[in-house]
Homo-oligomer: A and B are copies of this chain.
């Protein structure tokens, strides 16, 4: 917005991890100054992705990981017969593209749901730096492991929860992630459509809509299109944990 992107939205800007306000989310604590310098050499470019455009697609040659600076993205996988599944939503401070490491190419699509900016991390260089900076190497492993654990949670959700529980868990998860980034945990905008929420949660968009309406009717939320305000977080938590009515306080 403030500076026009060059050509194919590749902005060759000087990166300064040391000044980045996402430091706590993105990097390990206790990096020494020389370590940070190696890192800044590694993360040399940024890239802007406009809403609707893709950061990478399944089949693209894998070259880099991406750290989200600002914006919002989704990742999707597609089956041979064309079914699409949203595997995750990504926001500032998160690392995307790790699916590509295993093969020579990406196995999912990652698309910006709003205008987005990422730090480009050339993977070959990351491998090198990981060899010489133990703290960073360990941090990288933790990030990948966290992704595995996150996906375990999604499997639990998809495999054993009802529509209401899935939605409640989803909203609480978003709430928590917004809060961690300094935004309100009770009031936020859903950057994705009902269909995308549904795909992620293994539901149809109509079901998502219905459940949101039901939550609103029960006083748990206020919903106004993409705008959501959580009125009773404990109520949502109760729903996630086995369907306790509202506050587990009586009835």
A residues with CB within 8 A of B: 77, 79-87, 98-103, 107-108, 127, 130-132, 134, 137-138, 141-149, 151-156, 158-161, 199-202, 240-242
Cα of A108 to Cα of B151 in the assembled complex, Å:
12
* Across-interface contacts of A147 in B (CB, < 8 A): 148
Q: Is A87 a contact of B142 with CB atoms below 8 Å?
A: no
By a CB distance below 8 angstroms, the chain B residues around A202 are: 158-160
Q: Given A80-B241, A102-B145, A102-B146, are A155 and B154 also a contact pair (CB < 8 Å)?
A: yes
How many copies make up the complex?
Answer: 2
A-B contact pairs, 9 of them (CB 8 A): A79-B160, A85-B156, A99-B148, A108-B152, A127-B137, A144-B148, A148-B148, A148-B151, A151-B155
Cα–Cα distance between A143 and B130 once the two chains are bound (Å):
16
4 A-B pairs with the lowest CB-CB distances in the bound complex, closest first: A101-B145, A159-B202, A102-B145, A158-B158
The interface residues of chain B lying within 8 Å CB-to-CB of A148 are 98-99, 102, 144, 147-148, 151
User: What B residues does A138 contact at CB under 8 A?
Assistant: 127
Whether the Cβ atoms of A134 and B134 lie closer than 8 Å is: no
Whether the Cβ atoms of B102 and A142 lie closer than 8 Å is: yes
Bound state CA distance, A146 and B108, in angstroms? Answer: 13
Query: Closest CB-CB distance, A217 to chain B, in whole Å?
Result: 24
By beta carbon, the residue of chain B nearest A243 is B81
Closest approach, in angstroms, between the C-beta of A201 and any C-beta of chain B? 7
Residues of B within 8 A of A99 (CB): 145, 148-149, 152
Q: Which residues does chain B contribute within 8 Å of A83, judged by CB atoms? A: 156, 160-161
